[in-house]
């Protein structure tokens, strides 16, 4: 693999630290109502510095790059830990990186505020200013990642000047939030309604939303790669220790083929996700094509490997007590996170 695509020594050291932290301080949730421990989140966000990895140092961040963001996403995909990192560090920080001019970023970086992006809707969300120049948002957003628990909502809304991006405090009485019944207990989705909720105008939505969703697609691809790798490793480990007819089932040809095919899928996903992370880190014109490719390859690989992991585990793989189903659930929920066809996005990126 090209050295340009391979994470450097600092990124690999970060991987080790993040993996050890997640193993020690978190575990996958089995209760859809369970959230996260705020103290654990602040340690993760601040002590490890993962809330603002690609935020410039002069804005309070770590001054690293998107490759490091992808490393954290991959490790969270492996662990399935319930932490508000994706909504805050990928979506929320992404909005503020591309819509500067507010003082909201420090509270996201120090772990005191969690955030997310609310942009998907069934009917148009609108915003209008009163005579004093204060803005108010009305409408409803669906499939909002961590929407029921985030402190700060970045909301797209139509205005007289076109689609704009707003910041809304989630605790306002004019904001109502309803958790959705999601298949993944470790990824909360919600419907959020706004009834003339006071808002802060950040600027035009289109350029910000395009960049944030590109960033989110690449980060999600890395997360899916981590999940696929964890599912494959679980299958291989089980096959090596599960005895049937007096020998490990890993010695059976059918199981060997399954595990080999899983390894091929994981490596394909890893290559695609590393390519996307590198292009976004360097801000190249290839970023859109790389992110769309990674979304297609990694999403397919994760779904397939997660299913195969269940099959290798046999009867126990279908039980609630075993963790195999959690990867199946994450793979399915990831497929609906960001609207639009990645296939169409890829065709657009290559000019077809």
Q: Are 157 and 203 in contact (CB under 8 A)?
A: no
Burial of 205 (0-12, 13-18, 19+ CB in 10 A): buried
Q: Is residue 3 part of a domain?
A: no
Q: Are 53 and 62 in contact (CB under 8 A)?
A: yes
User: What CATH number does the domain containing 180 carry?
Assistant: 2.40.110.10
Percent of the chain as helix, strand, coil, to the nearest 5: 55, 15, 30
DSSP state at residue 327: H
Structure tokens at 35: 């959230």
Q: Is residue 196 part of a domain?
A: yes
The domain boundary residue, chosen from 203, 231, 248? 203
Nearest CA-CA partner of 210 in 108, 296, 280, 161: 280
Residues 6+ apart with CB under 8 A from 326: 28, 80, 184, 185, 186
The domain boundary residue, chosen from 54, 80, 109? 109
Instruction: Please give the backbone phi and psi of residue 291, each rounded to the nearest 5 degrees, phi first.
Output: -65, -40
Q: What are the pLDDT tens digits along the chain (352 aa)? A: 566 777 789 999 999 999 999 999 887 655 445 478 889 999 999 999 999 999 999 999 999 999 999 999 999 999 999 999 999 999 999 999 998 777 899 999 999 999 999 999 989 999 999 999 999 999 999 999 999 999 999 999 999 999 999 999 999 999 999 999 889 988 999 999 999 999 999 999 999 999 999 999 999 999 999 999 999 999 999 999 988 888 999 999 999 999 999 999 999 999 999 999 999 999 999 999 999 999 999 999 999 999 999 999 998 887 888 889 999 999 999 988 875 555 555 556 555 4
Q: Is residue 4 part of a domain?
A: no
pLDDT for res 227: 97
Q: Is residue 13 part of a domain?
A: yes
Are residues 216 and 197 located together in one domain of the fold? no
Burial of 350 (0-12, 13-18, 19+ CB in 10 A): exposed
Domain residues for the domain of 177 are: 115-203
Are residues 216 and 344 located together in one domain of the fold? yes
pLDDT for res 7: 79
Q: Is residue 18 part of a domain?
A: yes
pLDDT for res 352: 43
The domain boundary residue, chosen from 203, 223, 248? 203
Are residues 215 and 340 located together in one domain of the fold? yes
Structure tokens at 229: 């790798």
pLDDT for res 48: 94
pTM: 0.93
How many separate domains does the chain show?
Answer: 3
pLDDT for res 106: 94
Are residues 212 and 324 located together in one domain of the fold? yes
Q: Is residue 2 part of a domain?
A: no
* Collapsed DSSP state (helix, strand, coil) of residue 150: coil
């Amino acid at each position: 693999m090209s050295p340009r695509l391979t994470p450097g020594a600092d990124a690999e050291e970060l991987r080790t630290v993040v993996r050890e932290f997640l193993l020690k301080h978190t575990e996958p949730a089995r209760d859809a109502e369970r959230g996260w421990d705020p103290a654990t989140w602040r340690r993760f966000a601040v002590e490890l510095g993962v809330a603002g990895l690609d935020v410039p140092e002069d804005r309070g961040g770590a001054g690293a790059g998107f490759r490091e963001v992808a490393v954290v996403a991959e490790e969270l995909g492996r662990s399935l830990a319930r932490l508000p990192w994706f909504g805050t560090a990928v979506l929320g920080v992404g909005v503020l990186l591309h819509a500067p001019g507010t003082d909201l970023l420090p509270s996201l970086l120090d772990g005191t505020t969690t955030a997310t992006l609310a942009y998907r809707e069934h009917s148009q969300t609108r915003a209008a200013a009163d005579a004093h120049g204060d803005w108010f948002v009305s409408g409803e957003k669906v499939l909002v990642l961590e929407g029921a628990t985030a402190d700060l909502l970045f909301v797209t809304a139509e205005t007289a000047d076109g689609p704009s991006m707003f910041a809304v405090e989630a605790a306002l009485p004019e904001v109502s939030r309803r958790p959705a019944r999601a298949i993944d207990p470790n990824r909360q989705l919600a419907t959020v309604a706004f009834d003339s909720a006071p808002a802060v105008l950040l600027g035009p939505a289109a350029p910000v939303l395009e960049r944030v969703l590109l960033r989110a697609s690449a980060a999600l691809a890395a997360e899916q790669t981590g999940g696929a790798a964890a599912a494959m490793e679980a299958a291989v480990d089980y096959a090596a220790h599960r005895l049937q007819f007096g020998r490990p089932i890993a010695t059976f040809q059918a199981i060997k083929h399954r595990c080999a095919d899983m390894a091929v899928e994981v490596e394909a996903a890893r290559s695609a996700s590393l390519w996307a992370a590198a292009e976004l880190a360097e801000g190249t014109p290839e970023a859109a094509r790389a992110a769309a490719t990674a979304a297609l390859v990694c999403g397919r690989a994760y779904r397939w490997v997660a299913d195969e992991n269940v099959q290798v585990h046999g009867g126990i793989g279908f039980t609630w007590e075993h963790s195999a189903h959690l990867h199946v659930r994450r793979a399915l929920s990831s497929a609906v996170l960001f609207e639009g066809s990645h296939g169409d996005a890829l065709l657009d990126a290559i000019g077809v």
